[in-house]
């Protein structure tokens, strides 16, 4: 069935360092890949997304890359700040979202 | 900024009882979804809803679950006879149009605790 794998499950970085989270997906029909940030007690909030006709997208400190051939996509956060600490989920699909297992990012001051 | 709202924020119920979780999607959105997240696990798709009928449902969404849009604003998830394993956060989401590439907006969730 449809599946999205996400790594790592936890990631600790020093403030100012970069963080990279990677996902792979199984359904080759997937053509939309959003990333969500979830803070404690809140619902997922979209932070960036990419469509299958694009290889890379950047929004300030956040960038996402997509390799459709390999079915990989990644989230890159540069110059991390303590407020970036949260759980990040990747997702994929055409309509309903299939979520990855999540990455708990901790940014230490 | 428009947002998806959900009530209640926390629902505690006894096993076997019926619960109704309520959502108010963004007003001009046409596609509606329910997801759930068991504590510490990933967000899982339950059901999608468009034009007053279910578009797709997952294996989790068995006969104990139902959805309804009783009026022009509310979108509800009913669990007929709750089980312990139904304890989770339930998220409602909506989007303007269907298909890929259109953001789903999530509500803050309802924490359901089944005792």
In whole angstroms, what separates CA B57 from the centre of its chain? 12
Handedness of CA B53, B64, A91, A35 (dihedral sign): positive
Do B55 and A100 lie within an 8 Å CB cutoff? no
A104, closest residue in chain B (CA to CA): B40
Q: Does the CB of A103 have a partner CB in chain B at under 8 Å?
A: no
Q: Does the CB of A28 have a partner CB in chain B at under 8 Å?
A: no
Instruction: Look at strands A98-99 and A86-92 and give their pairing.
Output: antiparallel
Q: Does the CB of A96 have a partner CB in chain B at under 8 Å?
A: yes
State the Cα–Cα distance between residues A90 and A6, nearest whole angstrom.
7
* Whole-number percent of chain B with pLDDT over 70: 97
Q: Does the CB of A94 have a partner CB in chain B at under 8 Å?
A: yes
Do B103 and A42 lie within an 8 Å CB cutoff? no
- In B, which residues are within 8 Å of A34 by CB distance? 103-104
State the Cα–Cα distance between residues B68 and B23, nearest whole angstrom.
10
Which residues lie closer than 8 Å to A94 by C-beta, 6 or more apart?
A29, A30, A31, A32, B99, B100
Per-residue confidence (pLDDT) for residue B2, from 0 to 100: 81
Q: What is the mean pLDDT of chain B?
A: 93
Q: Does residue A60 surpass a pLDDT of 80?
A: yes
Mutation to test the B interface, candidates A94, A96, A100, A102, most B Cβ within 10 Å: A96
* Whole-number percent of chain A with pLDDT over 90: 80
Q: Does residue A27 surpass a pLDDT of 70?
A: yes
Do B106 and A45 lie within an 8 Å CB cutoff? yes
Do B100 and A32 lie within an 8 Å CB cutoff? yes
pLDDT band at B99 (very low <50, low <70, confident <90, very high): low
Residue B95 tokens, joined = 């989007």
Do B42 and A32 lie within an 8 Å CB cutoff? no
Quickly count: other Cβ atoms within 10 Å of residue A61's Cβ.
Answer: 13
* Whole-number percent of chain B with pLDDT over 90: 80
Distances (CA, A) of B91 to A42, A52, A55, B106, B115: 10, 26, 30, 7, 20
């Amino acid at each position: 069935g449809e599946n999205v794998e996400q790594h790592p499950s936890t990631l600790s970085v020093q403030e100012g360092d970069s963080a990279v989270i990677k996902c792979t997906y199984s359904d080759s029909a997937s053509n939309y890949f959003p990333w969500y940030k979830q803070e404690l007690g809140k619902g997922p909030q979209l932070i960036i997304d990419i469509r299958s006709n694009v290889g890379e997208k950047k929004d300030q400190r956040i960038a996402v890359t997509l390799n459709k051939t390999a079915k990989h996509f990644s989230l890159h956060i540069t110059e991390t700040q303590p407020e970036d600490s949260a759980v990040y989920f990747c997702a994929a699909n055409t309509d309903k979202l299939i979520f990855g297992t999540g990455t708990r990012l901790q940014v230490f001051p | 900024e428009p947002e998806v709202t959900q009530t209640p924020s926390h629902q505690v119920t006894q096993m076997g009882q019926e619960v109704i979780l309520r959502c108010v999607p963004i007003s001009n959105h046409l596609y509606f979804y329910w997801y759930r997240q068991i504590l510490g696990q990933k967000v899982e798709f339950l059901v999608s809803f468009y034009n007053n009928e279910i578009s797709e449902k997952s294996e989790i969404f068995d006969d104990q679950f139902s959805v309804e849009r009783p009026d022009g604003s509310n979108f509800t998830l009913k669990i007929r006879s709750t089980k312990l394993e139904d304890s989770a956060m339930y998220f409602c989401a909506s989007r303007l149009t269907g298909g890929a590439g259109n953001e789903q907006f999530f509500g803050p969730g309802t924490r359901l605790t089944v005792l």
